[in-house]
Structure 1
Amino acid sequence: MTNTPQFSGRDLIVFDGSCVPCSGFFRFMLRHDRAGRFSFATAQSPLGQQLYRDLGLPSDDFETNLVIVYGQLHQRLDAFAVAMRALPRPWPVLSLCRFLPRRLKDALYFAIARNRYRLFGRQDSCPLPSPQIRARFAAGKL
């Protein structure tokens, strides 16, 4: 978890737009975040690229989604957990994964992340979202 003051008051999920499970996570969050708390950006977008570079993460191989809540940046399984905690019932129960030992969480996460294209395939393109969904995408620079 990293403090990112430039995001205070703005919750954001950055996901790999060509990754099938990552895009599935985006669609899940869009469907269940009825309050519209989260904005979204793909890792391939200018904002996503800037965040990955600023964090010293590869900007061409996205092994983690980024979730920013209350100005705090979360990665890997902790990102999933904090996103689940932000949703209405019953989804917060899934945030209990945050209590797993770090080594186990990272091992599980990276086992899937490093093999995600082989296991699930790759999306060639993102479908064009409706105007309501497009309004939830963060744009521009930090």
Structure 2
Amino acid sequence: MKQKIVLFDGVCNFCNDRVQFLLKHDKKKQLHFAPLQSNFVRNWVSEKGIQLEDSMYFIDGKILYSHSTAVLRIIKELGGWWKWLYILILIPESIRNNLYRRFAKNRYRWFGKSEVCIIPSPEVRNRFYL
């Protein structure tokens, strides 16, 4: 089975809220999570020889998705009526990513920033790579 890992900004309040949303709505419990600030991500990036921006990413097996495509791929994994939002993939990527970057640029100002990454509860800790 291939891993499905959401890479997120662990100090971003908005990002942490989205992770909580995903934990609640991922009925199959197939999504795993790793803060960008974690040793897991640092080691993974070093191993792959890539550099990540301050964005949300989705690793689906061996494929890395970023920006708006990552968000849409993650939503698609939720199933139910959420997967219908994947139709937004039809919007040209340049437009989607432009909107994504504008939002991402302002997320700390609008939602705030934590001093430290979230600590997952014992019930979901096995779904986090730290």
TM-score normalised by L of structure 1:
0.81
CA drift of 1:18 comes to 0.8
Helix, strand or coil: the match of 2:115? Answer: coil
CA offset digits 1:35-67 (Å, max 9, x no partner): 110111111101122345532224xxx1x1111
More helix by share: 2
Q: Does 1:55 align with 2:82?
A: no
Moved over 4 A (4+): none
Over the residues paired in the alignment, what is the CA RMSD in angstroms?
1.8
Q: Which shifted more, 101-110 or 88-97?
A: 88-97
SS at 2:114's partner residue?
coil
* Residues 1:113 and 1:126: Cα distance change in structure 2 (over 3 Å): same
Identity %: 29
Alignment-mate amino acid for residue 6 of structure 2 = I
Aligned residue pairs total 128
Equivalent of residue 39 in structure 2, options 37, 42, 46: 46
Tell me whether 1:97 sits opposite 2:119 in the alignment.
no
Within the candidate set 24, 32, 38, 2:17 is matched to 24
Three-state SS of the structure 1 residue aligned to 2:113 is: coil
2: CA distance, partners of 1:100 / 1:52: 29
Work out whether residues 80 and 95 of structure 1, in 8 Å CA contact, stay in contact via their aligned partners in 2.
no
Partner of 1:78: 69
Q: Distance in 2 between matches of 1:104 and 1:42?
A: 26
Partner of 1:133: 124
Tell me how far 1:126 sits from its aligned partner: 4.0
TM-score w.r.t. structure 2 length?
A: 0.87
